[in-house]
């Protein structure tokens, strides 16, 4: 344990917490980072394709399940959340994408002053070590390695051509000037291995940073209107640790609101229900839960795919390719190429993400995913700006109880319509000459489902969450009663408590959320330094 009392305690060493803790320590703060999970130094986290073995494994994942969702036939969906140093970035699909500039500018319009794209860009740039090199939009030399995919299949090249044949532009860089059009996917990897936020920010962190693993925070300690420390369980003992300046809460969009409520911060009625005294009444805690929804188009193909590389001699070759060249099927992320497209006229920005993979899964009778036995490809059709909103509340006052997640994935008819439009675009792409020559049939939804009505039934049955929960402690102006933190990420009504993770996003950005969460953690450090050292945020980054 740190000999001295730390200046700041950071709760949660995930995507945002790792970035924030490391930057604060670099700036001279004595930081104690407390993480409930173990280290991410584990081959199952490092080898990308082993992701399938760690999601839904309690040693890596909090393994949450939402309440039954009537909009998808009453299915109680799984809501994974990383439980290792690195958090989500230690178990996720590694797709590295920032989202569209419009989303950040929209945040600022909603009251998150200083979170427009121009203000976030220096932090996106400083986090990156981008294999494509630096330019006005991209960074190099930063802690997070961003690499091109190394699991290459000719069918992916064909898909990229087919998207263009279908009328969408080729993007020079979806993380660059414009997040619209088609490109190969970039991954959070270096030399074919996962590059989590823990690897990037914590492995070479300043000696000012101490990390306490397998330390599960039960609540934030509040004295005289100030957060002074945490109560946690470590090695079977309950301990209270204090910090000079305060606490940064980075437990992720599901656990951050849970910890706030366990600490007496949240909607009064909800706290009373569980016998918790209200310290600060903030009705927005746990509300505004947002999530991307996605459905899949699966095709059988006559060309070589990753499904073929998962069996027999080919599988052995892939092991060798990883060991010798750090390439091949075992370096795969969850997608290989992607396109951001508009499914209709009059939108301010693309509303649909198509993520193409040169592989496809079947769902087994037990509900598990299994790679298909034949050559196959899949196109994920993701809805980028869903209207549905859900909530995270307490199941009980027991600090070990899972949060109660209530989310109606397809609560809005127009969300279903947009997914149908996205599916129709994904099908149109597969019909283009560049890829039609590879395709031997449609597995899901199935060619017989043609009408928009039939496709909407399919969407309702087959849509799943994309594992991108955000928004449950949103940034907003003082005039917004549902805002939880101000634009400096300080909790309303309390000194010494900042929230820095995916929960502060006012709305979900158009793209997988890891890069945005890391940006928030990195930028948070400058807001906190402004508070504790009077540093000028406009001069930071």
The residues that are catalytic are 468
**Nearest distance from residue 357's CB to ligand FAD, in Å?**
11
* Residue 217 counted as an annotated binding residue: yes
Under the binding rule (CB under 6 A), the answer on residue 519 touching ligand FAD is: no
Under the binding rule (CB under 6 A), the answer on residue 517 touching ligand FAD is: yes
Under the binding rule (CB under 6 A), the answer on residue 505 touching ligand FAD is: no
Q: Can you say whether residue 475 is alpha, beta or left, with left for phi > 0 and alpha for psi between -120 and 50 degrees?
A: beta
Under the binding rule (CB under 6 A), the answer on residue 497 touching ligand FAD is: no
**Among 253, 255, 249, residue whose Cα is nearest residue 222:** 249
Under the binding rule (CB under 6 A), the answer on residue 15 touching ligand FAD is: yes
**Which residues within the stretch 411-470 sit at the binding site for ligand FAD (CB under 6 A)?**
467-468
Beta carbon nearer to ligand FAD, 259 or 459 = 259
**Among 470, 471, 447, 469, residue whose Cα is nearest residue 458:** 447
Cβ-contact 51, 377 below 8 angstroms? no
Beta carbon nearer to ligand FAD, 251 or 443 = 251
Under the binding rule (CB under 6 A), the answer on residue 13 touching ligand FAD is: yes
User: Considering only 31-39, 123-131, 163-171, 400-408, which stretch makes contact with ligand FAD by CB under 6 A?
Assistant: 31-39
User: Considering only 65-73, 237-245, 253-261, 389-397, which stretch makes contact with ligand FAD by CB under 6 A?
Assistant: 253-261
Under the binding rule (CB under 6 A), the answer on residue 526 touching ligand FAD is: no
Cβ-contact 510, 117 below 8 angstroms? no
Phi, psi of 457 (to 5 degrees): -65, -45
CA angle 225–226–228, rounded 5-degree value: 145
Q: What does the per-residue mask of binding to ligand FAD show for 212-231, with x meaning CB under 6 A?
A: ----xx--------------
Report d(CA 462, CA 469) in Å as an integer.
19
For the chain, report the end-to-end CA distance as a whole number of angstroms.
31
Report d(CA 189, CA 94) in Å as an integer.
7
Instruction: Determine whether 457 is exposed, middle or buried from the number of CB atoms within 10 Å of its CB (0-12, 13-18, 19+).
Output: middle
**Which residues within the stretch 88-127 sit at the binding site for ligand FAD (CB under 6 A)?**
88-89, 91-95
The DSSP string of 314-377 is HHHHHHHIIIIIS-SGGG--S-SEEEEE-SSTT-SS--EEEEEES--EEE-TTS-EEE-SS-EE
Contacts of 376 (CB under 8 A, 6+ apart): 298, 299, 300, 301, 305, 307, 359, 360, 443
**Nearest distance from residue 344's CB to ligand FAD, in Å?**
25
Beta carbon nearer to ligand FAD, 208 or 353 = 353
**Which residues within the stretch 254-273 sit at the binding site for ligand FAD (CB under 6 A)?**
255, 259
Beta carbon nearer to ligand FAD, 250 or 307 = 250
**Which residues within the stretch 326-385 sit at the binding site for ligand FAD (CB under 6 A)?**
334
Report d(CA 538, CA 541) in Å as an integer.
8
Under the binding rule (CB under 6 A), the answer on residue 296 touching ligand FAD is: no
Report d(CA 68, CA 417) in Å as an integer.
22
Under the binding rule (CB under 6 A), the answer on residue 198 touching ligand FAD is: no
Under the binding rule (CB under 6 A), the answer on residue 512 touching ligand FAD is: yes
Report the binding-site residues: 217
Positions touching ligand FAD (CB under 6 A) are 11-17, 34-37, 55, 80-83, 87-89, 91-95, 216-217, 250-253, 255, 259, 334, 467-468, 501-502, 512-515, 517
Report the binding-site residues for FAD: 217
């Amino acid at each position: 344990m740190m000999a001295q009392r730390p200046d700041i305690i950071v709760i949660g060493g995930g995507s945002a917490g790792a970035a924030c803790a490391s930057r604060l320590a670099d700036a001279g703060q004595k930081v104690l980072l407390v993480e409930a999970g173990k280290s991410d130094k584990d081959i199952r986290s490092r080898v990308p394709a082993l992701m399938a073995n760690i999601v839904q494994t309690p040693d890596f994942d909090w393994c949450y399940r939402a309440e039954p969702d009537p909009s998808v036939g009453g299915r109680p969906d799984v809501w994974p959340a990383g439980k290792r140093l690195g958090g989500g970035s230690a178990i996720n699909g590694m797709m590295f994408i920032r989202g569209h500039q419009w989303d950040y500018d929209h945040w600022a319009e909603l009251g998150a002053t200083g979170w427009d794209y121009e203000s976030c860009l220096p932090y996106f740039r400083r986090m990156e070590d981008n294999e494509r090199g630096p330019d006005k939009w991209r960074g190099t030399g930063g802690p997070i390695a961003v690499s091109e995919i190394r699991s290459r299949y000719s069918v992916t090249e064909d898909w990229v051509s087919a998207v263009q044949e279908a009328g969408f532009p080729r993007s020079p860089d979806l993380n660059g000037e414009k997040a619209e059009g088609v490109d190969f996917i970039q991954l959070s990897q270096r030399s074919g291995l996962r590059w989590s936020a823990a690897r990037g920010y914590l492995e070479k962190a300043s000696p000012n940073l101490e990390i306490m693993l397998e330390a599960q925070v039960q609540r934030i300690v509040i004295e005289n209107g100030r957060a002074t420390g945490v109560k946690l369980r470590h090695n079977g003992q309950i301990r209270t640790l204090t910090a000079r300046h305060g606490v940064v809460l980075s437990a992720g969009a599901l656990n951050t609101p849970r910890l706030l409520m366990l600490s007496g911060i949240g909607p009064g009625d909800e706290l009373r229900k569980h016998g918790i005294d209200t310290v600060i009444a903030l009705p927005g805690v746990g509300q505004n839960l947002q999530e991307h929804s996605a459905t899949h188009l699966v095709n059988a193909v006559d060309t070589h795919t990753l499904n073929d590389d998962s069996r027999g001699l080919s599988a052995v070759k892939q092991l060798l390719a990883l060991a010798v060249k750090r390439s091949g099927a075992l370096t795969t992320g969850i997608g290989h190429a992607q396109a951001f497209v508009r499914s209709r006229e009059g939108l301010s920005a693309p509303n649909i993400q198509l993520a193409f993979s040169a592989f496809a899964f079947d769902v087994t009778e037990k509900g598990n995913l299994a790679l298909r036995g034949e050559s196959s490809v899949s196109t994920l059709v993701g809805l980028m700006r869903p209207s549905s909103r859900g909530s995270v509340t307490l199941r009980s006052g027991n600090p070990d109880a899972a949060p109660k997640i209530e989310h109606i994935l397809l609560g809005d008819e127009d969300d279903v319509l947009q997914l149908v439009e996205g599916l129709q675009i994904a099908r149109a792409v597969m019909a283009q000459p560049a890829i039609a020559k590879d395709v031997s049939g449609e597995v899901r939804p199935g060619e017989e489902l043609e009408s928009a009505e039939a496709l909407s039934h399919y969407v309702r049955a087959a849509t799943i969450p994309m594992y991108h929960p955000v928004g449950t402690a949103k940034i907003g102006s003082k005039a917004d009663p549902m805002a939880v933190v101000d634009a400096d990420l300080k909790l309303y009504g309390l000194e010494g408590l900042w929230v820095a993770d995916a929960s502060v996003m006012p709305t979900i950005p158009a793209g997988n959320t890891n890069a945005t969460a890391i940006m928030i953690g990195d930028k948070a450090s400058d807001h906190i330094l402004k508070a504790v050292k009077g540093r000028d945020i406009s001069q930071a980054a």
